[in-house]
Structure 1
Amino acid sequence: MNKRLKYQDHPSHFMLILARIIGFLIAGVYILFILPEFISNFDTLSYDTEFWVFLVYALSLTYGFGFLLTFWKIKAGAIIMIICSIGIAFYGFFDSMRWEVFLLLIPLSFSGIMFLMHAKKNLYTKNL
């Protein structure tokens, strides 16, 4: 009986590993391609856009903090990641007013959703 419970959690660990791999890939792509665009825009900023650029940086840093937090507190980090990714996606949509940008930024929340699925499966297997 004890062996069976041990192997029931295997798909949940696979989801955790997959979520971490996706999270690292998204963070790497985000840092390599999106953040230099915002850095290059600093020369042409006006006072009206400074708040929005600060908001993107704050959401990005909070997303990264949430990803790091998932190594210790999976559920809290996942919730932070999902909230920040939704905020970044809405910023991208309202900044460009194009649905393509919104749909491009939605995958930021995939790793957070997978972390939440892992946390829910772990909670279910602990109650057995």
Structure 2
Amino acid sequence: MTGTTRPDPAAAPGWLELAPRSGWPAPVDRGLGRPILDSPLVRGAVWLRWTRHDGIRTLHHGAGLARGWVEEDVDGLDGWVALVEGRIVLGTGTGSGGGLPEPVVHAEAWQAGATSHAALAGRSATRF
């Protein structure tokens, strides 16, 4: 991806929850190289990308550890996925009836970033 990560609340689905299982390792535990600023401070957070892995962006509040991240092609999902505490962000299925929760996959990192922001912000429609 070129350009910066642009969180856009409209890009996030309206109802979010976290996958029941946790366990995807945090990016900082994977030797990703040197962090590079991907976007300026946005709503109190900063996005970083990494020199050894362009398919991961990490979301930090201040100088602390990553609170969430977006990753490309997680577990065979074709696109960008939002993760919080090692758990994939899920949305209600398609259609007005909702359906079973399924992973929210986006074409662009900034869209998955918006989902991460929405999940971490604890939108009123978000269940964890």
Shorter chain as denominator, the TM-score bin is under 0.3
Choose between structure 1 and 2: higher helix proportion: 1
Structure exhibiting the larger radius of gyration computed from Cα positions: 1
Choose between structure 1 and 2: higher strand proportion: 2
Q: Provide the TM-score with structure 1 as the length reference.
A: 0.25
